[in-house]
Amino acid sequence: MAMAPGALGVTPVISFWFPNSHFSNCLLLSLLLICAPGCSKKVAPEVPQVLEDISSHSGLHFWHDNGMTGQLYFCEVVGAGSAFFDFDLDGDLDVFLPQGHMLESTRPAPARVISPPHEIPMGGRLFRNDGNDRYGMPRFVDITEQSGIKADGYAMGCAVGDVDGDGDPDLLLTNFGRDQLWINDGRGNFHEGASEAGIADDRWTTSAIFVDLDADGDEDLYVCSYVDFTLQNHKPCFAESSAIEYCGPSSYPPLPDRLYRNRGDGTFEDVTSSSGIGAKPGAGLGVVSSDIDGDGQLDLYVANDGMANRLWLQGEGFHFEDAALLAGCAVNRDGRAEASMGADLADFDGDGDDDIFLTHLSSETNTLYVNDGHGIFDDRSARSGLGLPSRKWTGFGTAWFDLDNDGWLDLFVTNGAVKRMEEKIAAGDPYPLSQPDQIFLNLGDSRFEEIAPGRAIILQHEAVGRGASFGDIDNDGDIDILVTNNCGFSKLLQNKIGSNNSWLGLDLRRSDGRVAVNTRCEIENATGSILHRRSRRGGSFLCSNDPRIVVGLADYQGGCVVRVHWPGGNTEKFEIEQTGKYQQLIEGSGTVER
């Protein structure tokens, strides 16, 4: 007779060795006996916390201001994101958090619905990571003023890239209004240069990604544009109950995204029209890049809100064709376009190709598109177990990451509504959009299991989740998460379980020392089992991530062979003897393979 999990006081705890495609040939299923019926004394188990909010202890104190005054402006509910990036090149991740502000310029200013805490300064903030204290807690210091950054726009998201090729990361801020590009001089000083670079855009822009699409050694730029909403064309929208409500993207015309080609001198050419990108406007909210069709050129996948998604396959002459419909990733299995927000792609099932995950509106489901190895996708949201648990919530920031370092990529989703929830209005909530976040563990057989809120206190708290940046903020070999909440405090979630397993960190560098982004790797252990990983900054929603790769090895303790497929087309092999640390792999220092 089959028993449900937890029956007779027995709670199954699944731990994985790697199957044939990973780092072992067996699956270990262990049962943790808590207390069966008949015990004279029941002892509540100590449930481990998988993620812990360390924001206040680490000094990362930030509250997002959407400036709302009761007018229900559409742009209020969309931002904002965040960025993990090592701006001072000292080996640890620093943080930038974009900010909003009041939208009306009338005097006297209208009354706010919710006022920001008095200690929160205006504008986006740059926090420097000063390393860990003796307890392993990272320490952040707000250095915005001395950095020269004055991010005073109504900000949406962040994109990090080396615009001028000088080896240090620069910062693009997308705005409801003119975008800003903050150029890093390598000494922690920034100046604004969007106009000089040719990428100043006054429209409503959202997610963006720097990526070397033409493989010429410098980073090009793709910017998602949303809809043609302004304060001047603001209109009232209504819920089914006839109550006033936030508008959706269908209330305004969609905008074409923009593609900029880097000239190699830190300036860009707008190739939106000539590349074909401008031919199909869409309410773009998320963008990721990979060689999806395996032809050796990087492609782009764009998540559109309420419209068909775009799969921009790169052809000859820096021209792109939308192949999403033919590839099976434009709409869901039922043929419906969904409200796509967050996006990420990675090889979650260990077959060597990148699969796509998208977050969506409540009443829809989040969507998993599984790649068949030839760039054709199948919607397996229901079969994977990711569909039904997401139907109640509206998902935004997300990414594939190995929470427990068992070698299988898991998922985190931060949730927050965009339509006001009646039960919260009735309870007197002034901003009735808050929802809980979710974590899904990869079971290793193309199925996922949602982590119960009892495993992570942070899953018991509700907020208006938007951005989620992923990276190793304390350099302990597991992935931590920075969640940005609209009209709320950000949460820095420290991973508490990943470093219990073996791991290998990869810091991929071009021959001149610059970070190698969108670079594929194969990590092979002594038994011949292989993991496929890729360095990336883009993905999630309005965010930029740690470009380093953390490879979970479960209980494997031996050496590894890493094959790196560099952006220029060369493949090199690196023999790694020591795990449990970050290894810097520099192009040209490995063994060249044909």
Q: What is the pLDDT of residue 457?
A: 85
CA 530 from chain centre, in angstroms, equals 25
Burial profile 390-403: b = 16 or more Cβ within 10 angstroms, e = fewer: beebbbbbbbbbbb
User: Looking at the structure, do residues 376 and 235 belong to the same domain, yes or no?
Assistant: yes
User: Looking at the structure, do residues 373 and 445 belong to the same domain, yes or no?
Assistant: yes
Single out the residue of 67, 54, 59, 168 nearest to residue 123, CA to CA: 67
pLDDT in tens, the chain (594 residues): 333 333 323 333 333 334 344 333 333 333 333 333 333 333 434 456 899 999 999 999 999 999 999 999 999 999 999 999 999 999 999 999 999 999 988 778 889 999 999 999 999 999 999 999 999 999 999 999 999 999 999 999 999 999 999 999 999 999 999 999 999 998 889 999 999 999 999 999 999 999 999 999 999 999 999 999 999 999 999 998 899 999 999 999 999 999 999 999 999 999 999 999 999 999 999 999 999 999 999 999 999 999 999 999 999 999 999 999 999 999 999 999 999 999 999 999 999 999 999 999 999 999 999 999 999 999 999 999 999 999 999 999 999 999 999 999 999 999 999 999 999 999 999 999 999 999 999 999 999 999 988 878 889 999 999 999 999 999 999 999 999 999 999 999 999 999 999 999 999 999 999 999 999 999 999 989 999 999 999 999 999 999 999 999 999 999 999 999 999 899 999 999 999 999 999 999 999 886
Domain end, chosen from 480, 502, 524, is at: 502
- Report the CATH number that the domain containing residue 115 is assigned in CATH: 2.120.10.70
Amino acid at 359: T
* Strand-pair partners of 523: 531, 562
What is the Cα–Cα distance from 392 to 417, expressed in whole angstroms? 10
User: Looking at the structure, do residues 433 and 560 belong to the same domain, yes or no?
Assistant: no
What is the Cα–Cα distance from 579 to 562, expressed in whole angstroms? 12
Contact in structure between 556 and 23 (CB atoms under 8 Å): yes
Question: What residue numbers bound the domain in which 570 lies?
Answer: 504-592
* Strand-pair partners of 128: 141
Contacts (Cβ under 8 Å, ≥6 apart) of 479: 401, 402, 403, 470, 471, 472, 495, 498, 546, 550
- Report the CATH number that the domain containing residue 570 is assigned in CATH: 2.60.40
Q: Where is 591: in which H helix or E strand?
A: strand 591-593
User: Looking at the structure, do residues 496 and 525 belong to the same domain, yes or no?
Assistant: no
User: Looking at the structure, do residues 226 and 138 belong to the same domain, yes or no?
Assistant: yes
- DSSP for 214-263, please give it: T-SSS-EEEEEE-B---STT---EE-TTS-EE---GGGS-B---EEEEE-
User: Looking at the structure, do residues 487 and 540 belong to the same domain, yes or no?
Assistant: no
Our count of domains for the chain comes to 2
Show the tokens assigned to 402: 């190995």
Contacts (Cβ under 8 Å, ≥6 apart) of 178: 153, 194, 200, 201, 202
* Strand-pair partners of 238: 244
What is the Cα–Cα distance from 282 to 416, expressed in whole angstroms? 22
User: Looking at the structure, do residues 408 and 426 belong to the same domain, yes or no?
Assistant: yes
User: Looking at the structure, do residues 492 and 522 belong to the same domain, yes or no?
Assistant: no
Q: What is the pLDDT of residue 35?
A: 35
518-521 CB contacts, 8 Å cutoff, 24+ apart: 518/211, 518/212, 518/289, 518/290, 518/298, 518/567, 519/564, 519/565, 519/566, 519/567, 520/291, 520/564, 520/565, 521/549, 521/562, 521/563, 521/564, 521/565
Single out the residue of 488, 300, 468, 465 nearest to residue 397, CA to CA: 468
* Strand-pair partners of 480: 471
Residue 434 is given by DSSP the state B
Asked whether residue 485 is assigned to any structural domain, the reply reads yes
Asked whether residue 12 is assigned to any structural domain, the reply reads no
Domain end, chosen from 463, 482, 502, is at: 502
Q: Tens digit of pLDDT for each residue in 272-325?
A: 999 999 999 999 999 999 999 999 999 999 999 999 999 999 999 999 999 999
Helix and strand totals (H; E) in the chain: 7, 43
User: Looking at the structure, do residues 515 and 487 belong to the same domain, yes or no?
Assistant: no
Contacts (Cβ under 8 Å, ≥6 apart) of 48: 455, 496, 497
What is the Cα–Cα distance from 65 to 79, expressed in whole angstroms? 9
Domain end, chosen from 472, 502, 532, is at: 502
Asked whether residue 367 is assigned to any structural domain, the reply reads yes
Contacts (Cβ under 8 Å, ≥6 apart) of 498: 402, 403, 404, 405, 476, 477, 478, 479, 550, 552
Asked whether residue 241 is assigned to any structural domain, the reply reads yes
User: Looking at the structure, do residues 70 and 109 belong to the same domain, yes or no?
Assistant: yes
**pTM for this entry:** 0.92
Contact in structure between 299 and 311 (CB atoms under 8 Å): yes
Amino acid at 20: N
Show the tokens assigned to 399: 């990414």
Q: What is the pLDDT of residue 29?
A: 34
What is the Cα–Cα distance from 220 to 191, expressed in whole angstroms? 20
What is the Cα–Cα distance from 536 to 291, expressed in whole angstroms? 13
Asked whether residue 462 is assigned to any structural domain, the reply reads yes
Asked whether residue 133 is assigned to any structural domain, the reply reads yes
Q: How far is CA 206 from CA 173, 175, 202, 211, 235, in A?
A: 9, 7, 12, 16, 21
User: Looking at the structure, do residues 448 and 515 belong to the same domain, yes or no?
Assistant: no
User: Looking at the structure, do residues 411 and 522 belong to the same domain, yes or no?
Assistant: no
* Strand-pair partners of 574: 562
φ/ψ of 493, rounded to 5, equals -100, 110
Asked whether residue 34 is assigned to any structural domain, the reply reads no
Q: Where is 521: in which H helix or E strand?
A: strand 520-524
> Parallel, antiparallel, or unpaired for β 284-290 and 180-184?
unpaired
Asked whether residue 369 is assigned to any structural domain, the reply reads yes
Single out the residue of 396, 292, 295 nearest to residue 345, CA to CA: 292
